[in-house]
Structure 1
Amino acid sequence: MVLRALLSWLAFPVYVWQGVAVRMRTPRMVPPPGPVRHLIEGAEPSINLLVLGDSSAAGVGIDRTDDGLAARLARLAAEKTGRRVVWRSAGFNSATAGQLRDHVVPNLAHEAWDHIVLTVGTNDAKNFHTVHRFDREFGQLLYALRAKWPEARIVWSPVVEMTLVPALPRALGKVLEIRASLINAMGERLCRERGVVAASRLPIIDAKAGFSTDGFHASAAGYQAWAEHVAELLIAGEPAEHGVSPS
């Protein structure tokens, strides 16, 4: 881990040079219009789903929130269990673990969320946050969530393979992949220690279809693939309504 971190810092000039160029030519996208909370009718007891995190949790890259990660996860959970699903997305452009800990979780109403999906880590890697900093900030974020929703099933979705992100030049993708792998390793360790489920990395099978026009955020198809990737982990152990067989 120390050697990889050192290599990434040695490549920092590449990160700055190519990163500035990517930022200048990439349009800054905003969250799409549409509801950030909704419900799908079904049998009680309801599944109460909170998707918390960065711009991916906000649905950046698509035209409407109905195609975002939270809405698609909610539909899959309803289909697989036959139960009522209440969902909310709380996502923010460029959010890091520390910002979610300090500015988002304390300001979320104390509602009965019993299923939480976290999309955080990409900006920590992209901003060259140290592993020590991520250890502190992500670890404290997990503590904050556990304190506020002690019985919730929490699933963290780690950072994707950065060398496969279309917007990133090859050299920049390699540098950021080192940072992402360090962040992911620490995140997985913290999840094990603090009763959180760490999903495997979302596989990028078709980058052309899976990414939005900016080449960085997910497309509608990408969010669907993401939802399918974490849905089983999210609802594992949840009873299905009679007559509904989880697939």
Structure 2
Amino acid sequence: MRRPKAEGRPAVSRLAFHLSTLALPLYAVAGLRLRARTHRFPPADGPVFGHALSADGEGDGKNRLRLLVLGDSSAAAVGIARQEDGLAPCVAAQLARRHRCGVDWRAAGFNSATTGMLRDHVVHNLEPAPYSHILISAGFNDLKNFHSGRRFRREFGGLIYALKARFPESRIYWSQVLAPDDVPALTPLVRTILRPRAVEIVRLGRCLCRERGVTAIPATKGLPRRAFCADGIHPSEEGFAGWAEHVAEHMNAD
């Protein structure tokens, strides 16, 4: 597999990434403590597919969009009560409003899913629907699981190839990994250790997206505490709504 081209200050980014590996024992202890005091929510209740209408009606079949949101627990609407308030339906509603058309949506999200798990166990099991747009919400579990840069390149790059092979007509977008400093539940130590790793994961992901025809959507920054649910990790209803509005700005419908 050809490596992504350099971007920004890759040497500095890679050095900080590798140095952070030395802190793995500290990170493991801090992570276990964090997990012990964090409530684990199930996915939200409700169907994982639906339809969003535009303000003046759903639009005709010719103009209808079909959205797949694929990813981790955030794509599964973990942390909130109703699936209809999750990322996929919120993005669909934003696209319907912006482009004045109906949007069929499907959420395929799973607790703790990494990009490799999505590549190996999810993509080939999805129904072969003619999705016009695919939004990937993944990478944070690769980050918190301390995956190496080489592993992330291989697995995220493979996920992109798998999606392009199965859905060749789809426009694919990646919502970049949220910065550790913007996740309230993370302790200062965990944030410090993960910070350079997040920078490198985002750099590698952006390079892969650019080379393989995927749009990388920057993460939102400076999120308020109310954008997260009670666990301080997953989005709240308000957080999903804001996230959806942000990513929809980058998703074309032409």
TM-score higher than 0.5 here?
yes
Query: For structure 1, which runs of at least 5 residues remain unmatched after alignment?
Result: 240-247
Question: 2 CA distance for matches of 1:147 and 1:169?
Answer: 40
Aligned equivalent of 1:147: 165
SS of the equivalent of 2:134 reads strand
Aligned-residue offset at 1:5:
1.8
Cα distance, 1:164 vs structure 2: 2.2
Farther off after superposition, 95-104 or 175-184: 175-184
Tell me which stretches of 4 or more aligned residues in structure 1 moved more than 3 Å.
none
CA distance in 1, matches of 2:194, 2:41: 21
CA distance in 1, matches of 2:37, 2:210: 39
Match of 1:33 in 2: 45
Shift of 1:171: 1.0
Report what 2:25 is aligned to: 13
Cα deviation for residue 10 of structure 1 reads 1.6
Matched ranges for 1:194-213 at <5 A: 194-206=212-224, 208-213=225-230
- TM-score of the aligned structures, taking structure 1 as reference length: 0.93
Contact 1:126 1:179 in 2 (8 A): no
**Could you tell me which residue of structure 1 aligns to residue 143 of structure 2?**
125
The sequence identity of aligned pairs, in percent, is 47
Aligned counterparts of 1:230 and 1:224: Cα–Cα separation in 2:
10
Partner of residue 218, structure 1: 235
TM-score by length of 2: 0.90
- Structure 2: runs of 5+ lacking an equivalent: 1-12
Alpha-carbon RMSD: 1.0
CA offset digits 1:63-86 (Å, max 9, x no partner):
101110101011111111111110
- Aligned match of 1:227: 244
Structure 1 residue 35: deviation in Å? 1.3
Distance 1:135 1:36 in 2: 29
- Kindly provide the amino acid, as one letter, of the partner of residue 245 in structure 2: E
In structure 2, what is the equivalent of residue 245 of structure 1? none
Which residue of 90, 99, 102 corresponds with 2:120?
102
Number of paired residues?
Answer: 236
C-alpha deviation, 1:13, in angstroms = 2.0
1:52-72 CA-partner distances (Å, limit 9, x unpaired): 000010001111011101010
Amino acid of the structure 2 residue aligned with 1:226? W
Higher mean displacement: 3-12 or 219-228: 3-12
1:76 to 94, 100, 117: 94
SS at match of 2:32: helix
